[in-house]
Chains A and B, each alone.
Chain A
Amino acid sequence: MRFLIYRYHPEKDQKPYMQAFELDGLDKNKMLRDALLLIKKQDESFTFRHSCGEGVCGSDALNINGTNGLACITPLSSLKEPVEVRPLPGMPVIRDLVVDMAQFYKHYREVKPYLVVTDPEPEVEFKQSPEERSKLDGLYECILCGCCTTACPSFWWNPEKFRGPAALLQAYRFLADSRDQAHDKRLEELDGPYRMFRCHTIMNCVNVCPKGLNPTEAIHNIKRMMMKDVV
């Protein structure tokens, strides 16, 4: 199977380039991550992030044949040759397929991805009914792989100001939580022309999310909440 891999070593290379690799007798039922590990055996200077190998940790998010996805759950049989593997788009490259995710995490931190409670803490536990809990389904499963945010043109144009789909999905995850008490603050923080309203419902995020989540819907729900507060 033929591969074209993005290579860039900032200290040695003037410019990034695509390097061709060939793997013979590859089991097509294996995942792209397995192939990348074999490529690393051929050329040990090649580097990429990976960890759990089963789509749980979100480390090996890559741009695969033009679409973002996790290498560890992308079967080789689903890929057209030559398989072009690049780092996540719109992110600063540290080396080869490894990108600097600092901006992504900064936006995540900004939405305060934790419960904010002002009431005195209950003695035993915060209670939540099954119905209230079910509102968090489709939100809490995010593994912060970054596939969605780096596939979003609005994020490419305004990476410092637009929160991006992943952070906005998490913003809604806490807005939808019956135990959270920072509702107004959270909404106020997201208003303005940039932080959320750069979203033009392009829906690349929904297309690429390896967990099948829907950030666009979450953003829509945040707008609904804002409107309810105005009316």
Chain B
Amino acid sequence: MKQSLFQITENVHLTENVMRMRLKGDTNAITASGQFINIKLDGLFLRRPISVCDCEGDTVTIIYKVVGKGTEQMSKMSSGTLDILTGLGNGYDTSLSGEKPLLIGGGVGVPPMYLLAKKLIGEGKDVSVILGFNTKNEVFYEEEFKALGCKVGVTTVDGSHGTKGFVTALMENTDYTYTFCCGPEPMLKAVFNTSKTSGQYSFEERMGCGFGACMGCSCKTVTGYKRICKEGPVLCKEEILW
């Protein structure tokens, strides 16, 4: 973990409520996809945890949905610096993926899949991605995943873009050796039940610190109590207790 100042170099809308921010600073503590950063914002007591979407050289990319006070404040920043804790959480372990990993992201669970896909492609894997959204206007990053060289399927709940339904609708006809998943809990559970392979699933919890000090984010697993911020947010399929 590292605490340092980052310079905002970009903050743009991807959809009406989802924005992408690029930040320049010391990225050395970021060692894996699926990790997160914890952002201090003026006037707000707790930091805001956001997944690393991409990390290249000294630039971190995050994608966030505007849902409350903190993300609202972030959406209005076009420049300036942010106090950020980086290198938080365990992240995805790509060594378990087999030759044909399947990556599934729902809504703002999509961002961490991007750096993961990039790493897996870099390792020469045959990567399939399923992106799930509610409706056409909420879709983002379909082209970016294609540009990495992934096979990309998109589902929307109302059928306005891609396949109608949930991400699980596309799993049946995909050939895969392993499952990586991030999204709202009902989606994680549906994928968990549908997936025929082992996998890694990323969880969310309200956090006091984000670095293991407060026990605010604990969950029970097959292998004992874990802190989502420290031993998580990524849990292996075999250890998850719903």
Q: Please determine whether chains A and B interact with each other in the same assembly.
A: no
Residues of A at the B interface (CB closer than 8 Å) are none
